[in-house]
Structure 1
Amino acid sequence: MMIGFAGLGRMGWPMASNLRQAGHTVLAYDPWIVRPPEGVTLVGSATELAETAISISMLPDGPTTRDLVENGLSCATTDHVHVIMGTVGPIVVRELAATQTVDIADAPVSGSVSMAESATITTMFGGTGAQFERIRPVLAAMTSAQFHTGPVGSGSTTKLAVNAVLASLSHGVAEGLLIAEAGELDLRAFYGVLRSSAAGAPYVGYKEEAFLSPESAEVAAPISLIRKDLGLALDLARERQLHLPASEAVYAVLGSAAAAGLGEADMAQVLAALRLHNDLPGSSRVKESTR
């Protein structure tokens, strides 16, 4: 199948590559990329993606996605489906779907870059049952699990809810480490207890090195990205007149982390942000490294 793909960033690059390895013909558009993944054809205009049966966007925000759909895909045929896989929030997704200029579905993903490379990320699909059955084989080339969460926009809502939990969990682990440190515990030993306790979610296990040895751990999801997603979740909450005190507090701390120059650091570096906030030993090194 010929598939259009917009956005060859940290996640989009391996996803497009996996589509090609699954035997699909992939036309990719990204004005910032000169050399695409092997076997992927780079096109010079977003309008060329409209010639495919299915197009996918893995773009960083709502305005970029809106421009792609409203301008680049405006000439798509009636049987063309565009799948928004970037985390842009359900409000934008529903607005684009309501215009009816392009058939829209959303399927944001959960997982790290390394999981995208191995096609073990999870996707949450919002759209009709017929759309899901048509697109699921394409999604399966990039992901290990595909969930149909409901109508268009529901995939994005699910992603925001998941990342709100992850952001709070990351913050909770960081505060637990600070409490352990205040009690003069060995942090590696404490983390072993935490990992095996009732709080030992899978995330806690695979983020150990990111928390305890951040200088050598790879960046899976940067603070700036998690803060963006949490902000979208809070936008949705405000739309429904919900007050989420924990998420609001975590969002403020992530904002402080970004202001301290930690925006591109892994989300586990919320620990460094809390050290700065409390002026704890080691925080001076963070200040120096972000100058």
Structure 2
Amino acid sequence: MEKSRIGFVGLGLMGHGMAKNVVEKGFPLTVVAHRNRAPVEDLLGHGASEARSLVELARASDIVLLCVTGSPEVEAVVAGSGGLASAGKPLMIVDCSTSDPSSTLRLAAELEPRGIKLIDAPLSRTPRDAEAGTLDVMVGGEPEDFERARPVLETFAGRIVHTGPVGSGHTMKLLNNFVSLGYAALYSEALALGAKAGLTPTIFDAVIRGGRMDNPFYRTFFQWVLDRNPDAHRFAIRNGLKDLNYLAAFASAAGIANPMGAAVRNSFAMAGATGNGEKFVPMLSDIIAELNGVSLAAG
């Protein structure tokens, strides 16, 4: 059976590895450059084609994957001047970004009469998993749309969960990130408290690692804390704060008290306000320690 023609927008830390898996596993791929040409040149070397505009990319594709920062970028790419919808053709758009579910629902409803299907398929795990093709994907969309997108998602995913209708994938992604970013804030505060009491990160880790509170996110986080590996989790604090802001808006709209979410958000907002937004999430541990007058680097 002839494979769908795939377009890809957003060749950043996650998107480049995803797109490489798409083209290496036999799907015709078209990409578009943004600021950095290096990932585009790499993908062209693997057999991808390059479009000069979003409209040209849409006309060359049956399914377009988006992996951009958030809802403002998604709305601009899809519905803005010269965006994908301007091509005026039937299309499936798969939004792999972490977006605001309310924006996703509104955009999907606006596109439907124009013959454009929008489904949400946000991601979990790291750029290393994107490269390895072992991402987790949460998909919101009608069953037939999910099945149409599944073969493409399988090129870069190790686990795919159909969460329900459009918007449910982005909602689940917010909950997933709330839990993981909550762990990050909790570990950071616990490490600062421990350091104040003379308990080093090494001692902390000796107790937690292998015990009931151990988990894969903890292991990734502590690759920075103990080994100073800057590539352990390449997800910026500013992006974490963006997701926590989406969560706060979602909780407010749902009428749900979200005190833990507010506390986690404040940790990330404080890190951003002190000029640390571009640092990666595990580095929150050093920021919280420094603000409390202690250091984790020695131990």
Equivalence for 1:55: 64
Deviation at 1:31, TM superposition (A): 2.5
- Write the deviation string for residues 67-89 of structure 1: whole angstroms up to 9, x where unpaired: 222242223433x2111111112
Q: Which runs of 5+ in 2 are unaligned?
A: none
User: 1:21 Cα shift?
Assistant: 0.5
Contact preservation (8 Å) 2:174, 2:246: yes
- Give the match's secondary structure for 1:262: coil
User: 2:43 aligned with 1:2, yes or no?
Assistant: no
* Corresponding letter in the other structure for 2:98: T
**Does the aligned pair in 1 maintain the 2:192–2:292 contact within 8 Å?**
no
Provide the identity percentage: 28
The match for 2:89 is 77
Output one character per residue of 1:122-175: Cα deviation in whole Å (capped at 9) or x when no partner.
000000100111110100001111110000010000111000001111111112
Query: After the TM superposition, which residues 24-43 of structure 1 pair with which residues of structure 2 at under 5 Å, given as runs?
Result: 24-35=27-38, 36=40, 37=43, 38=45, 39-43=47-51
The amino acid of 2:212's aligned partner reads A
Would the aligned equivalents of 2:196 and 2:294 in 1 still touch at CA under 8 Å?
no
Q: How much does 1:218 deviate?
A: 4.2
User: Residues of 1 paired with 2:251 and 2:208: CA distance?
Assistant: 31
Give the Å deviation of 1:206: 2.6
**Alpha-carbon distance change, 248 to 127 in structure 1, aligned in 2, over 3 angstroms:** same
Whole-angstrom distance in 2 between the partners of 1:177 and 1:34: 40
| Corresponding residue of 1:289 | none
After superposition, residues 89-238 of structure 1 pair within 5 angstroms as: 89-99=100-110, 100=112, 101=114, 102-214=116-228, 217-238=231-252
**In terms of mean alpha carbon deviation, does 239-248 or 130-139 score higher?**
239-248
Kept in 2, the 8 Å contact 1:3–1:55? The answer is yes
Matching residue's letter, 1:46 = L
Scaled by the length of structure 1, the TM-score of the pair is: 0.91
Q: Deviations over 1:159-201 (max 9, x none)?
A: 1100000111111111222232233224213212112222212
CA distance in 1, matches of 2:27, 2:100: 28
SS at match of 2:275: helix
- Higher RCO, 1 vs 2 (CA within 8 Å, ≥6 residues apart): 2
Equivalent of residue 19 in structure 1, options 12, 17, 22: 22
TM-score (norm 2): 0.89
Relative to structure 1, the CA distance from residue 200 to residue 138 in structure 2 (aligned partners, 3 Å threshold; closer, same or farther) is same
**Residue 214 of structure 1 contacts residue 269 of structure 1 at CA under 8 Å; is this kept in 2?**
no
Unaligned stretches of 5+ residues in structure 1:
284-291
Is 1:46 the equivalent of 2:57?
no
| Root-mean-square deviation (Å) | 1.9
Question: What secondary structure does 2:173 align onto?
Answer: helix
1:241 to 249, 255, 264: 255
Residue matched to 2:75: 66
Deviation of the 1:260 alpha carbon: 2.1
CA contact (8 A) 1:219 1:265 kept: no
Across the two proteins, how many residue pairs are aligned to each other? 283
CA distance in 2, matches of 1:7, 1:183: 45
Change (3 A) 1:69 1:216: closer
How far did 1:98 drift? Answer: 0.9
